[in-house]
């Protein structure tokens, strides 16, 4: 079964969650049409945290005080959808890789 890297960065506004499918970490993806690059090698330290199963990622997301999330990969994005953080229409693709950003509005 696939695993996900999950890392919570603590901020004054809540948790900044970084999630990435295990198989994707260390790779670079580019979208020639938009000129967007997803560099999971350069930003490896940002994403590389605990290695968990998707169900555990869902449980973590449900219990987190989320301020923002950066989520990359099919399994990671699927976990975010199961946790109710997004829907299929919120997903963007960079070089064919599903990607999702979630923000909490603070007033």
The CATH number of whichever domain residue 23 belongs to comes to 3.30.1860.10
Residue from 35, 34, 100 nearest 66 by CA: 100
Strands 36-39 and 50-52: unpaired
93 is in which domain, residue-wise? 4-103
pLDDT recorded at residue 105: 78
Q: 33 falls in which pLDDT band (50, 70, 90)?
A: confident
Q: Is 107 a residue whose pLDDT tops 80?
A: no
Task: State mean pLDDT over 4-20.
Answer: 95
| pLDDT per position as a tens digit, 59-87 | 999 999 999 999 999 999 999 999 999 99
pTM of the model: 0.91
Q: Which residues neighbour 23 within 8 Å (Cβ) at sequence distance 6 or greater? A: 2, 73
Q: How many domains does the chain have?
A: 1
Q: For residue 91, which phi and psi values (nearest 5 degrees)? A: -80, 135
């Amino acid at each position: 079964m696939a695993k996900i890297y999950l890392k919570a960065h603590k901020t004054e506004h809540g948790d900044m969650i970084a999630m990435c499918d295990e198989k994707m970490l260390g790779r670079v993806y580019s979208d020639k049409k938009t000129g967007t690059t997803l560099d999971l090698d350069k930003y490896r330290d940002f994403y590389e945290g605990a290695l968990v199963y998707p169900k555990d990622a869902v449980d973590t997301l449900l219990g987190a005080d989320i301020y923002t999330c950066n989520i990359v990969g099919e399994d990671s994005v699927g976990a975010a959808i199961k946790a109710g953080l997004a829907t299929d229409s919120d997903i963007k693709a960079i070089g064919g890789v599903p990607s999702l950003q979630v923000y909490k509005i603070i007033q």
